[in-house]
Structure 1
Amino acid sequence: MEPVEERLAKAMEALETTRAALTGAEQTLRQASVVVMSKDRSVEVTVGAQGEVTAMRFHDGKYRSMAPAQLASVLLETIGQARSRMARQVLDTYRPISEGVPQVAGVPGAEIDWDALFGSMVREGGAGPRKNPGGRLRDEIVEDTA
């Protein structure tokens, strides 16, 4: 059996390696963004690492001829796709780091449940607008009159 001092030294080394990897991942993701073009090419959305919309560009003036509900649907779908791709990028960045950390059985919080953290965001097509079974968008756009 290995002496406690050696096990502790190995654990501290693993901790420092993990800490350095996390710092590198944070720096990388701090500058990361994802750009997604809508299917109809009318809008382009950019999101940052936390899923925040950082830019939105409308192309060819097509959005001007869209009904408000149609434009809202295109925006929601495009933002959802961008967030989903960014969630996948964040997951792909952090998962290898977490897999290299020894698991400690019986310690709450020692294991990372990626599905619980990201849910449908990382599943293919899981981040778009939700539609009812009839296929009609249930959202309503109300214009401010003030």
Structure 2
Amino acid sequence: MTIPLHNQVEQAMARLRATQDALGAAQRELAGTTTSSTARNRSVTVTVDGHGEISAITFPTGAYRSMAPAELGDLLVETIREARRTASATAVSLFTPLMPAGSRLGGLLDGELDLDGMIAEAIKVATAPLPGEQSGPADRDGRHA
């Protein structure tokens, strides 16, 4: 290994360690995060952890008592979704600075990106013949059909 190459490897390893440390810190911060969302009529509050899991549902007023079951159910679902959206936005804000430029972490978490399509395209590009190579499978002796 030449000295310049050795230095490049050491620099790359240092960058990798720094990125791993930053990711660990972001994960720890996210794990300690909670987000609460209160329904528009203030009858229910939902709290979720950093991963969007429900940790508490409270009823700050007695308004829920006069609601029809379907109305209360709809309100709970809406409030849970809002709390999870906010938790997701918090996660995106923590991890986006650590992602490569141009990556769309929010789109991935929101389901807006076609991850399967992205992977299929990457495999297609990676397995395509290089310029000047023959396409198609080779036999045991390396000859193309």
Tell me the TM-score normalized by structure 1: 0.69
Cα separation, 2, equivalents of 1:7 and 1:21? 21
State whether structure 2 residue 109 is matched by structure 1 residue 117. yes
Q: What does residue 128 of structure 1 align with?
A: none
Cα separation, 2, equivalents of 1:84 and 1:57? 19
**Alpha-carbon offset, residue 112 of structure 1:** 5.3
How many residues are matched? 109
For residues 2-21 of structure 1, the aligned pairs below 5 Å read 3-21=4-22
Aligned partner of residue 35 in structure 1, secondary structure: strand
Cα separation, 2, equivalents of 1:76 and 1:32? 21
Q: What does residue 32 of structure 2 align with?
A: 31
Percent identical pairs in the alignment equals: 34
Decide whether the 8 Å contact of 2:88 with 2:109 is kept in 1: no
For residues 1-146 of structure 1, the aligned pairs below 5 Å read 3-99=4-100, 113-114=104-105, 115-119=107-111
Gaps of at least 5 residues in structure 1 are: 101-110, 121-146
Answer 1 or 2: which has greater helix percent.
2
Cα separation, 2, equivalents of 1:44 and 1:96? 31
**Alpha-carbon offset, residue 33 of structure 1:** 0.5
Cα separation, 1, equivalents of 2:109 and 2:9? 30
2:109 partner amino acid: L
Question: Using CA pairs below 8 Å that are at least 6 residues apart, which structure has the higher relative contact order?
Answer: 1
Cα separation, 1, equivalents of 2:6 and 2:109? 35
**Alpha-carbon offset, residue 87 of structure 1:** 0.2
1:15 partner amino acid: L
Greater Rg over alpha carbons, structure: 2
What CA deviation, in whole Å up to 9, does each residue of 1:52-97 have, x standing for no partner?
Answer: 0000101221101001111011101100000000000001101101
